[in-house]
């Protein structure tokens, strides 16, 4: 039997695609080394990014108008949400899909060969296994702790959440900057996370842990070491030519991650229906997933990542002051969506015009050489 879709990898992106394909009535084979593994990561998104089919029960917490700090305080005119990870995994049920536990030895356009020797075939083969680490790849890293809401409120100064706080902790190391991300995760708990947005190499987990402890101690918060922790490390861009010809990359592996923020879950869930519809209509799924506009948007955002990597630590907070003073529509065009080429171009042009001349020169060099 030849399935309609074969999905390799059952993280949030692959599982979302397999789920929506079964909802559409397609026959699906899904492969993962550990398909029953419970997800433990924290996934955030802007509320307006989520697909309309995702129920509200999968949202653990909402933060209307979160705050960002560079040198100054900025209120972001959007609602930020943190997903209920177990509820999200349960909702993305695989229905009538055939779920195979195994290691993939070779992935080809017509199917896959498992390490066990088994061959599986499908009309569309999708690789959603994420991005492997590489010394050449810029990465995002983070270290966080879960604390009671009363502890988090000491940091918030009345904000519903801190999307980014670039004010330096008491000891910052002075090389690669990091920011505080403080969001509710439901159940009266908050995640306080020291984050290296992009680095090549990125800050190590030990350095981020020290910065977080120093930052909190500077506000009178002493951790006792019993708090649950979370660590994050992932590449921001897939290598070129990484997915075999004729195989459709999906999720971060397919370029759906934002190259300057690392966000990919909401975009992947929104894109799942387009891929399923293309298979149903026997049209080109790659064309449905990557229009010329989305490819242009991705290329421009990759230039944005190069710009971030080029900034010295002393200019990062000021850069984000300028960014969060852009009109909300331009902020949204840069942070979200895959098709708004005009909006993204306007946002990047306005940002370039407003940053200090020294920063502008660095951005121009990074765009030309990155």
**277 lies in the same domain as 338:** no
Rounded distance between C-alpha atoms, residue 50 and residue 36, angstroms: 24
350-359: long-range pairs with CB below 8 Å, 24+: 350/326, 351/322, 351/323, 351/326, 354/322, 354/325, 354/326, 355/318, 355/319, 355/322, 356/315, 356/318, 358/315, 359/311, 359/315, 359/318, 359/319
**127 lies in the same domain as 249:** yes
Q: What angle do CA 33, 36, 40 make, to 5 degrees?
A: 100
Residue 9 has pLDDT above 80, yes or no: yes
Q: What is the pLDDT of residues 104-154, one digit of tens each?
A: 998 999 888 898 889 999 999 999 999 888 777 889 999 999 999 999 999
Any domain includes 195: yes
Structural domains of the chain, count:
3
Q: What is the pLDDT of residues 304-354, one digit of tens each?
A: 888 888 888 888 999 999 999 999 999 999 999 899 999 999 999 999 999
CATH of the domain at 193: 3.30.70
Quote the pLDDT of residue 110: 86
CATH of the domain at 277: 3.50.50.60
Any domain includes 7: yes
Residue 29 has pLDDT above 60, yes or no: yes
**177 lies in the same domain as 165:** yes
Mean of the pLDDT values across residues 32-36?
Answer: 95
**316 lies in the same domain as 286:** no
Rounded distance between C-alpha atoms, residue 228 and residue 191, angstroms: 10
Between the CA of residue 198 and those of 30, 117, 213, 309, 367, what are the distances in Å?
32, 40, 21, 7, 16
Q: For the CA atoms of 5, 6, 10, 14, what is the dihedral angle to 10 degrees?
A: -40
**21 lies in the same domain as 108:** yes
Mean of the pLDDT values across residues 177-193?
Answer: 96
**212 lies in the same domain as 148:** yes
Q: Which domain holds residue 117?
A: 3-39+92-131+238-290
**124 lies in the same domain as 150:** no
Residue 45 has pLDDT above 60, yes or no: yes
Rounded distance between C-alpha atoms, residue 192 and residue 158, angstroms: 16
**Which of 235, 252, 280 is the last residue in one of the domains?**
235
Do residues 138 and 199 lie in contact, with contact meaning Cβ atoms separated by under 8 Å? yes
Q: Fill in the DSSP letter of residue 118.
A: -
**106 lies in the same domain as 248:** yes
Q: What is the pLDDT of residues 263-298, one digit of tens each?
A: 999 999 999 999 999 999 999 999 999 999 999 999
**191 lies in the same domain as 321:** no
Any domain includes 251: yes
Quote the pLDDT of residue 93: 96
3-state class percentages of the chain: helix first, strand second, coil last, to nearest 5 = 35, 25, 35
**250 lies in the same domain as 171:** no
**165 lies in the same domain as 188:** yes
Quote the pLDDT of residue 205: 96
Q: Is the pTM of this model over 0.75?
A: yes
Could you tell me the sign of the dihedral formed by the alpha carbons of 159, 164, 166, 172, in that order? positive
| Mean pLDDT taken over the chain | 92
Q: What is the pLDDT of residues 59-74, one digit of tens each?
A: 999 999 999 999 999 9
């Amino acid at each position: 039997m030849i399935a309609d879709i074969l999905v390799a990898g059952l993280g949030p992106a692959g599982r979302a695609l397999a789920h929506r394909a079964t909802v559409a009535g397609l026959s699906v084979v899904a492969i993962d080394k550990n398909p029953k593994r419970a997800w433990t990561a924290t996934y955030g998104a802007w509320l307006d990014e989520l697909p309309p089919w995702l129920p509200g029960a999968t949202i653990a917490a909402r933060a209307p108008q979160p705050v960002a700090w560079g040198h100054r305080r900025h209120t972001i005119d959007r609602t930020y949400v943190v997903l209920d990870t177990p509820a999200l995994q349960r909702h993305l049920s695989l229905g009538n899909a055939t779920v195979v536990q195994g290691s993939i030895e070779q992935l080809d356009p017509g199917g896959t060969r498992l390490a066990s020797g088994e061959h599986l075939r499908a009309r569309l083969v999708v690789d959603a296994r994420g991005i492997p680490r590489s010394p050449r790849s810029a990465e995002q890293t983070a270290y966080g702790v879960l604390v009671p809401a009363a502890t988090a409120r000491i940091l918030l100064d009345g904000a519903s959440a801190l999307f980014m706080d670039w004010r330096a902790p008491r000891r910052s190391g002075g090389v690669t900057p990091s920011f505080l991300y403080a969001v509710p995760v439901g159940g009266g708990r908050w995640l306080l996370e020291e984050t290296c947005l992009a680095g090549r190499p990125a800050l190590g987990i030990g350095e981020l842990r020290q910065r977080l402890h120093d930052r909190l101690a500077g506000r009178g918060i002493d951790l006792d070491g019993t708090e649950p922790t979370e660590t994050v490390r992932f590449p921001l861009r897939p290598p070129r030519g990484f997915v075999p010809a004729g195989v459709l990359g999906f999720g971060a592996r397919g370029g759906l991650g934002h190259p300057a923020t690392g966000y990919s879950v909401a975009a992947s869930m929104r894109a799942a229906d387009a891929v399923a519809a293309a298979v149903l209509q026997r049209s080109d799924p790659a064309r449905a997933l990557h229009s010329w506009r989305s490819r242009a948007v991705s290329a421009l955002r990759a230039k944005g990542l190069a710009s971030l990597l080029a900034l010295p630590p002393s200019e990062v907070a000021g850069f984000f002051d300028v960014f969060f003073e852009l009109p909300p529509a331009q902020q949204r065009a840069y942070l979200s969506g895959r098709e708004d080429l005009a909006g993204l171009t306007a946002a990047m042009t306005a940002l370039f015009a407003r940053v200090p001349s020294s920063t502008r020169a660095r951005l121009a060099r990074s765009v030309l050489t990155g």
